[in-house]
Protein backbone atom coordinates (compact mmCIF):
# COMPACT_ATOMS: atom_id res chain seq x y z
CA UNK A 1 0.00 0.00 0.00
CA UNK A 2 1.32 3.44 -0.95
CA UNK A 3 2.45 5.66 1.90
CA UNK A 4 0.43 8.84 2.42
CA UNK A 5 2.27 12.13 2.78
CA UNK A 6 0.58 15.33 3.93
CA UNK A 7 1.94 18.51 2.33
CA UNK A 8 1.29 21.68 4.35
CA UNK A 9 2.50 24.52 2.12
CA UNK A 10 0.70 27.78 1.29
CA UNK A 11 2.64 28.47 -1.91
CA UNK A 12 0.42 26.80 -4.51
CA UNK A 13 3.27 26.36 -7.00
CA UNK A 14 5.57 24.63 -4.48
CA UNK A 15 2.64 22.60 -3.16
CA UNK A 16 1.90 21.40 -6.67
CA UNK A 17 5.58 20.60 -7.38
CA UNK A 18 5.75 18.51 -4.21
CA UNK A 19 2.48 16.72 -5.04
CA UNK A 20 3.71 15.78 -8.51
CA UNK A 21 7.13 14.70 -7.22
CA UNK A 22 5.59 12.45 -4.57
CA UNK A 23 2.99 10.98 -6.91
CA UNK A 24 5.62 10.18 -9.53
CA UNK A 25 7.60 8.31 -6.89
CA UNK A 26 4.78 6.09 -5.67
CA UNK A 27 3.39 8.11 -2.75
CA UNK A 28 -0.16 9.28 -2.14
CA UNK A 29 -0.15 13.04 -1.52
CA UNK A 30 -2.67 15.04 0.51
CA UNK A 31 -2.42 18.84 0.22
CA UNK A 32 -3.17 21.59 2.73
CA UNK A 33 -2.50 25.31 2.29
CA UNK A 34 -2.56 26.63 5.87
CA UNK A 35 -1.70 25.45 9.36
CA UNK A 36 -5.35 25.18 10.35
CA UNK A 37 -6.24 23.16 7.25
CA UNK A 38 -3.24 20.92 7.86
CA UNK A 39 -4.46 20.06 11.34
CA UNK A 40 -7.97 19.40 10.05
CA UNK A 41 -6.92 16.97 7.29
CA UNK A 42 -4.21 15.20 9.35
CA UNK A 43 -5.46 11.75 10.37
CA UNK A 44 -4.45 8.14 11.02
CA UNK A 45 -3.92 7.49 7.31
CA UNK A 46 -1.04 9.99 7.09
CA UNK A 47 2.44 8.43 7.29
CA UNK A 48 4.62 11.57 7.06
CA UNK A 49 4.23 15.36 6.93
CA UNK A 50 6.09 17.93 4.83
CA UNK A 51 5.65 21.21 6.69
CA UNK A 52 6.41 24.76 5.60
CA UNK A 53 7.10 27.29 8.39
CA UNK A 54 5.72 30.52 6.91
CA UNK A 55 2.00 29.69 6.83
CA UNK A 56 -1.05 31.98 7.07
CA UNK A 57 -2.74 31.93 10.47
CA UNK A 58 -0.96 29.32 12.57
CA UNK A 59 2.62 28.96 11.31
CA UNK A 60 4.58 25.74 11.10
CA UNK A 61 6.26 26.16 14.48
CA UNK A 62 2.88 26.67 16.15
CA UNK A 63 1.35 23.43 14.91
CA UNK A 64 4.14 20.83 15.15
CA UNK A 65 3.17 19.63 18.64
CA UNK A 66 -0.54 19.68 17.71
CA UNK A 67 0.11 17.57 14.62
CA UNK A 68 2.20 15.12 16.66
CA UNK A 69 -0.46 14.80 19.34
CA UNK A 70 -3.13 14.03 16.74
CA UNK A 71 -1.09 11.35 14.94
CA UNK A 72 2.62 11.07 15.72
CA UNK A 73 4.35 10.60 12.37
CA UNK A 74 7.65 12.03 11.06
CA UNK A 75 7.56 15.75 10.32
CA UNK A 76 10.04 17.13 7.79
CA UNK A 77 10.19 20.91 7.84
CA UNK A 78 10.83 22.59 4.48
CA UNK A 79 11.84 26.22 4.80
CA UNK A 80 14.08 28.93 3.36
CA UNK A 81 15.28 29.81 6.87
CA UNK A 82 18.95 28.84 7.38
CA UNK A 83 19.31 29.78 11.07
CA UNK A 84 20.72 26.77 12.97
CA UNK A 85 19.15 27.98 16.23
CA UNK A 86 15.70 27.87 14.65
CA UNK A 87 16.41 24.33 13.43
CA UNK A 88 17.37 23.28 16.95
CA UNK A 89 14.16 24.85 18.31
CA UNK A 90 12.11 22.96 15.74
CA UNK A 91 13.65 19.65 16.76
CA UNK A 92 12.79 20.38 20.40
CA UNK A 93 9.19 20.99 19.30
CA UNK A 94 9.06 17.56 17.65
CA UNK A 95 10.29 18.04 14.08
CA UNK A 96 12.23 15.04 12.76
CA UNK A 97 14.16 16.63 9.90
CA UNK A 98 14.78 19.93 8.15
CA UNK A 99 15.27 20.64 4.44
CA UNK A 100 16.29 24.10 3.27
CA UNK A 101 14.65 25.70 0.23
CA UNK A 102 15.50 25.50 -2.59
CA UNK A 103 15.91 21.75 -2.21
CA UNK A 104 17.11 18.97 -4.50
CA UNK A 105 14.34 16.52 -5.35
CA UNK A 106 16.64 13.53 -4.81
CA UNK A 107 17.64 14.78 -1.37
CA UNK A 108 14.04 15.27 -0.28
CA UNK A 109 13.05 11.81 -1.54
CA UNK A 110 16.01 10.25 0.27
CA UNK A 111 15.10 12.00 3.53
CA UNK A 112 11.47 10.90 3.19
CA UNK A 113 12.52 7.29 2.56
CA UNK A 114 14.87 7.37 5.56
CA UNK A 115 12.20 8.72 7.93
CA UNK A 116 9.58 6.24 6.73
CA UNK A 117 12.10 3.42 7.09
CA UNK A 118 12.80 4.44 10.69
CA UNK A 119 9.08 4.83 11.39
CA UNK A 120 8.20 1.33 10.21
CA UNK A 121 11.27 -0.28 11.75
CA UNK A 122 12.24 -2.03 8.54
CA UNK A 123 14.46 -4.95 9.62
CA UNK A 124 16.90 -4.74 6.71
CA UNK A 125 18.60 -1.67 8.20
CA UNK A 126 20.77 -3.87 10.45
CA UNK A 127 22.80 -5.14 7.51
CA UNK A 128 23.38 -3.28 4.28
CA UNK A 129 25.02 -4.86 1.23
CA UNK A 130 26.39 -3.12 -1.85
CA UNK A 131 28.39 -5.21 -4.32
CA UNK A 132 31.14 -6.79 -2.13
CA UNK A 133 30.73 -4.36 0.80
CA UNK A 134 28.72 -5.40 3.86
CA UNK A 135 27.88 -2.92 6.62
CA UNK A 136 26.48 -4.20 9.91
CA UNK A 137 24.67 -1.48 11.82
CA UNK A 138 24.28 -3.60 14.96
CA UNK A 139 27.98 -4.06 15.73
CA UNK A 140 29.32 -1.17 13.58
CA UNK A 141 31.48 -3.36 11.35
CA UNK A 142 32.27 -3.11 7.65
CA UNK A 143 33.75 -5.77 5.41
CA UNK A 144 34.96 -5.45 1.82
CA UNK A 145 35.66 -8.63 -0.16
CA UNK A 146 35.37 -10.50 3.13
CA UNK A 147 38.07 -8.39 4.84
CA UNK A 148 37.39 -6.16 7.85
CA UNK A 149 37.63 -2.41 7.16
CA UNK A 150 38.43 -0.08 10.06
CA UNK A 151 36.46 3.16 9.77
CA UNK A 152 36.13 6.23 11.95
CA UNK A 153 32.71 7.22 13.30
CA UNK A 154 32.11 9.75 10.53
CA UNK A 155 33.44 7.45 7.80
CA UNK A 156 31.09 4.70 8.98
CA UNK A 157 28.10 7.09 9.07
CA UNK A 158 29.00 8.41 5.61
CA UNK A 159 29.20 4.92 4.08
CA UNK A 160 25.97 3.93 5.83
CA UNK A 161 24.13 6.93 4.39
CA UNK A 162 25.35 6.15 0.88
CA UNK A 163 24.42 2.47 1.20
CA UNK A 164 20.96 3.35 2.53
CA UNK A 165 20.40 5.37 -0.65
CA UNK A 166 22.06 3.26 -3.38
CA UNK A 167 20.04 4.77 -6.20
CA UNK A 168 20.10 8.40 -5.10
CA UNK A 169 22.59 11.24 -4.85
CA UNK A 170 23.28 12.32 -1.27
CA UNK A 171 23.66 16.09 -1.39
CA UNK A 172 26.28 17.86 0.69
CA UNK A 173 23.67 19.49 2.92
CA UNK A 174 22.05 16.11 3.57
CA UNK A 175 25.43 14.59 4.46
CA UNK A 176 26.28 17.47 6.81
CA UNK A 177 22.93 17.19 8.60
CA UNK A 178 22.91 13.41 8.99
CA UNK A 179 26.60 12.47 9.28
CA UNK A 180 27.81 15.52 11.20
CA UNK A 181 24.47 16.29 12.89
CA UNK A 182 24.76 20.06 12.38
CA UNK A 183 28.28 20.25 13.85
CA UNK A 184 29.93 23.58 13.00
CA UNK A 185 33.11 21.75 11.97
CA UNK A 186 31.46 20.27 8.87
CA UNK A 187 32.45 21.97 5.61
CA UNK A 188 33.44 21.05 2.05
CA UNK A 189 37.06 20.40 2.99
CA UNK A 190 36.08 18.13 5.89
CA UNK A 191 33.71 16.17 3.66
CA UNK A 192 36.27 15.84 0.86
CA UNK A 193 38.89 14.52 3.30
CA UNK A 194 36.50 11.90 4.69
CA UNK A 195 35.39 10.80 1.21
CA UNK A 196 39.05 10.47 0.16
CA UNK A 197 39.92 8.39 3.23
CA UNK A 198 36.87 6.19 2.79
CA UNK A 199 37.69 5.54 -0.87
CA UNK A 200 41.30 4.72 0.01
CA UNK A 201 40.35 2.28 2.77
CA UNK A 202 37.88 0.41 0.57
CA UNK A 203 40.34 0.28 -2.31
CA UNK A 204 42.84 -1.61 -0.14
CA UNK A 205 40.68 -4.70 -0.63
CA UNK A 206 39.27 -4.07 -4.10
CA UNK A 207 40.45 -2.26 -7.20
CA UNK A 208 36.96 -0.84 -7.64
CA UNK A 209 36.08 2.77 -6.82
CA UNK A 210 32.66 2.56 -5.19
CA UNK A 211 31.87 6.25 -4.63
CA UNK A 212 31.03 8.67 -7.41
CA UNK A 213 31.24 12.46 -7.17
CA UNK A 214 28.27 14.40 -8.51
CA UNK A 215 29.96 17.75 -9.07
CA UNK A 216 28.41 20.67 -7.23
CA UNK A 217 25.78 18.46 -5.58
CA UNK A 218 27.22 15.59 -3.55
CA UNK A 219 28.07 11.88 -3.76
CA UNK A 220 26.47 8.58 -4.64
CA UNK A 221 27.38 4.94 -5.04
CA UNK A 222 28.48 3.94 -8.54
CA UNK A 223 25.86 1.93 -10.38
Distance of alpha carbon 94 from alpha carbon 98, whole angstroms: 11
Report residue 177's pLDDT band, with 50, 70 and 90 as the boundaries. Answer: confident
pTM of this prediction exceeds 0.85? no
Q: In the predicted model, what is the mean pLDDT of residues 30-56? A: 94
Report residue 14's pLDDT band, with 50, 70 and 90 as the boundaries. Answer: very high
Instruction: For domain 124-221, give the CATH number.
Output: 1.10.10.10
What pLDDT, on the 0 to 100 scale, is given for residue 176? 87
Residue-wise pLDDT for 102-159, tens only, equals: 888 988 998 898 888 777 655 445 789 999 999 998 888 999 999 999 999 999 999 9
Percentage with pLDDT > 70 across the chain = 94
CATH 3.40.50.720 describes domain 4-120: no
Write out the residue limits of the CATH 3.40.50.2300 domain(s) in the chain: 4-120
Percentage with pLDDT > 90 across the chain = 55
Amino acid sequence: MNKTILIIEDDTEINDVLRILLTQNGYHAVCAFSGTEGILVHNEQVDLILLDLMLPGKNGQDIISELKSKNSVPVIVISAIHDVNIKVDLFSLGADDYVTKPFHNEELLARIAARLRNQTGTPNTNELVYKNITLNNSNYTVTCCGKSVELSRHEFALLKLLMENPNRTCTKSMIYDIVWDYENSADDNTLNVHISKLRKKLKQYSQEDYIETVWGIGYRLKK
